[in-house]
């Protein structure tokens, strides 16, 4: 994006009819005739740098999703009954001695949004998981068997490599891989940040251009008019090529926005005012911000992006964020963890989201229960079953 605005020189043609009257003109034209846009590579390091570390919109989207999804409580069900003291839920509530539940799941969801993959390692003592740790996705490499499916993982850091094997008989693995759907890869997931990479580049480039313009005194673009000196009405070929080279090398691109020219005799600068509205930088950055939010499933209203009236109010936007982004992600994670931990805690283990304890859904839940209670054609037992409550009705007064 550095060469998005590439300067090109134009000069009036010299013909017999206009040789005496035409004024030669050297102008700056906003074009992109020789340079194609530079896009961020779809690698973990590049996306993390340009998206998470340099772009406020992508950073906030990832943080918002990770923090919100980490707040969703999980519960263990055995025979359709939630068990709060189950060993599996105790492990998830305290993954390791130095890592809290919230920190653990924030890292898990953050890696998932950054790379499309999250990896967990289970530390076993006497063949039972006693701690869980997040592994950085960029350090993980799949090891495939003769069929092309994963048979293990290599974790490399500091020049040292460690291999995690999958038990061929039981299928147990101390490494758990959660991924987002990728239509072009059978093993690795696809990152939402990769889908928003071009919008991130546009947003970053707009900010870089504005900063460069401010650094160079915010001078507008313009044209160089040659009025003639020493009896000459036209620039010589040598003068033209030298001036063209100087403009291309020293006054092109975002880093040279607004840089003043040093004029020689016979050259006059005519400013051409181009406001941010004319260049449409502000609108382009806002549209890029909305596109980034769309890729992550975050309503722009929650990010304070102006000009978006998709939802009537903030409450509706927040509810849509929970229903369309957070809950599907949390349910996917709970189901995935349940299938992995069942190898050690029993096949009857099921991990689900405890959505009754989510404050953001309290109003919606009360309205749903009221509508269910008003139904006349269902018995109390059927209503309780539909609401996900035990069928036994206890008389508290007894």
The string of pLDDT tens digits covering residues 33-77 is 445 677 888 889 999 999 999 999 999 999 999 999 999 999 998
Q: Looking at the domain assignment, is residue 318 inside a domain?
A: no
pLDDT attached to residue 238: 74
Q: Looking at the domain assignment, is residue 327 inside a domain?
A: no
Mean pLDDT of 251-270: 60
One domain for residues 126 and 74:
yes
CB 33 within 8 A of CB 6: yes
* Percentage of residues of the chain with pLDDT beyond 90: 42
Q: Looking at the domain assignment, is residue 339 inside a domain?
A: no
pLDDT attached to residue 2: 37
Q: How confident is the model at residue 19 (pLDDT cuts 50, 70, 90)?
A: very low
Residue with tokens 């999804």: 69
Query: What is the C-alpha separation between 255 and 49, in angstroms, rounded?
Result: 20
Mean pLDDT of 144-151: 86
One domain for residues 75 and 173:
yes
One domain for residues 165 and 67:
yes
* Boundary of a domain, candidates 172, 192, 212: 192
Q: Looking at the domain assignment, is residue 229 inside a domain?
A: yes
Other Cβ atoms closer than 10 A to 384 = 16
One domain for residues 71 and 116:
yes
One domain for residues 204 and 134:
no
Mean pLDDT of 172-187: 93
**pLDDT tens readout for residues 90-101:** 999 999 999 999
Q: How many domains does the chain have?
A: 3
Q: Where are the alpha helices (DSSP H) in the chain?
A: 44-47, 56-70, 87-93, 101-115, 192-195, 197-215, 237-250, 276-279, 281-296, 314-321, 327-345, 362-373, 380-386
Other Cβ atoms closer than 10 A to 392 = 7
* Boundary of a domain, candidates 293, 315, 344: 293
CB 84 within 8 A of CB 75: yes
Domain that holds residue 382: 358-391
* Percentage of residues of the chain with pLDDT beyond 70: 71
One domain for residues 170 and 105:
yes
CA atoms lying within 13 Å on the CB side of residue 38:
13
Query: What is the C-alpha separation between 241 and 259, in angstroms, rounded?
Result: 20
CA atoms lying within 13 Å on the CB side of residue 87:
10
pLDDT attached to residue 241: 75
Mean pLDDT of 225-238: 62
Tell me the backbone φ, ψ of residue 345, rounded to 5 degrees.
-105, 10
One domain for residues 178 and 265:
no
Mean pLDDT of 354-365: 78
Query: What is the C-alpha separation between 257 and 215, in angstroms, rounded?
Result: 8
One domain for residues 211 and 253:
yes
Query: What is the C-alpha separation between 323 and 336, in angstroms, rounded?
Result: 19
More confident residue, 230 or 246: 246
Tokens of 138: 């960029």
CB 132 within 8 A of CB 204: no
Please give the C-alpha separations between residue 152 and each of 143, 149, 167, 168, 243, in angstroms, as whole numbers.
5, 9, 9, 10, 61
One domain for residues 176 and 204:
no
Output the CA torsion 185→191→197→198 (10° steps).
Answer: 60
CA 49, 50, 56 angle in degrees (round to 5)? 105
Q: Looking at the domain assignment, is residue 177 inside a domain?
A: yes
**Residue 194 Cα to chain centre, angstroms:** 7
One domain for residues 60 and 125:
yes
Give the contacts of 371 (CB within 8 A, at least 6 positions apart): none
Task: Say if pTM beats, i.e. exceeds, 0.85.
Answer: no
pLDDT at 230 > cutoff 80: no
One domain for residues 55 and 169:
yes
* Boundary of a domain, candidates 167, 192, 217: 192
One domain for residues 203 and 179:
no
Q: Looking at the domain assignment, is residue 387 inside a domain?
A: yes
Query: What is the C-alpha separation between 93 and 102, in angstroms, rounded?
Result: 9
pLDDT attached to residue 234: 65
pLDDT at 362 > cutoff 80: no
- What is the full DSSP assignment across 185-234? -SSS---HHHHTHHHHHHHHHHHHHHHHHHHTTTPPPEEEEE--BTTBSS
**Secondary structure of residue 280 in the 3-state scheme:** coil
DSSP for residue 49? I
Q: Looking at the domain assignment, is residue 305 inside a domain?
A: no
């Amino acid at each position: 994006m550095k060469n998005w605005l590439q300067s090109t020189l134009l000069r009036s043609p010299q013909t017999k009819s206009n040789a005496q009257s035409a004024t030669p003109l050297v102008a700056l034209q906003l074009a992109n005739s020789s340079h194609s846009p530079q896009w961020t590579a779809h690698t973990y390091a590049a996306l993390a740098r340009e998206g998470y570390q340099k772009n406020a919109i992508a950073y906030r989207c990832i943080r918002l999703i990770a923090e919100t999804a980490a707040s969703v409580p999980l519960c263990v069900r055995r025979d359709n009954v939630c068990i709060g003291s189950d060993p599996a839920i105790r492990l998830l509530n305290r993954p390791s001695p130095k890592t809290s539940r919230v920190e653990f799941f924030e890292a898990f969801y953050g890696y998932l949004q950054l790379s499309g993959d999250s990896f967990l390692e289970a530390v076993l003592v006497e063949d039972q998981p006693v701690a869980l740790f997040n592994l950085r996705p960029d350090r993980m490499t799949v090891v495939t068997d003769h069929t092309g499916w994963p048979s293990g993982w290599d974790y490399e850091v500091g020049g040292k490599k460690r291999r995690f094997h999958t038990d061929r008989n039981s299928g147990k693995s101390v490494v758990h891989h959660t991924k987002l759907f990728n239509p072009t890869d059978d093993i690795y997931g696809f990152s939402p940040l990769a889908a928003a990479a071009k919008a991130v580049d546009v947003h970053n480039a707009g900010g870089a251009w504005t900063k460069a313009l401010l650094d160079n005194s915010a001078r507008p673009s313009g044209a160089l008019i040659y009025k003639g000196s020493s009896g000459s009405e036209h620039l010589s070929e040598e003068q033209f090529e030298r001036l063209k080279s100087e403009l291309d090398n020293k006054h092109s691109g975002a880093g040279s926005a607004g840089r003043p020219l040093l004029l020689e005799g016979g050259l006059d600068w005519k400013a051409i005012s181009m406001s941010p509205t004319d260049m449409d930088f502000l609108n382009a950055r806002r549209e890029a911000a909305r596109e980034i939010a769309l890729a992550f499933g975050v309503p722009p209203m929650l990010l304070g992006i102006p000009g978006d009236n998709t939802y009537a109010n903030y409450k509706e936007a927040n509810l849509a964020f929970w229903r369309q982004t957070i809950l599907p992600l949390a349910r996917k994670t709970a189901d995935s963890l349940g299938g992995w931990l069942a190898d050690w805690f029993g096949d009857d283990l099921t991990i689900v989201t405890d959505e009754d304890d989510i404050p953001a859904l309290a109003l919606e839940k009360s309205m749903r229960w009221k509508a269910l209670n008003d139904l006349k054609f269902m018995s109390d037992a059927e209503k309780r079953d539909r609401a996900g409550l035990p069928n036994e009705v206890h008389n508290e007064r007894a």
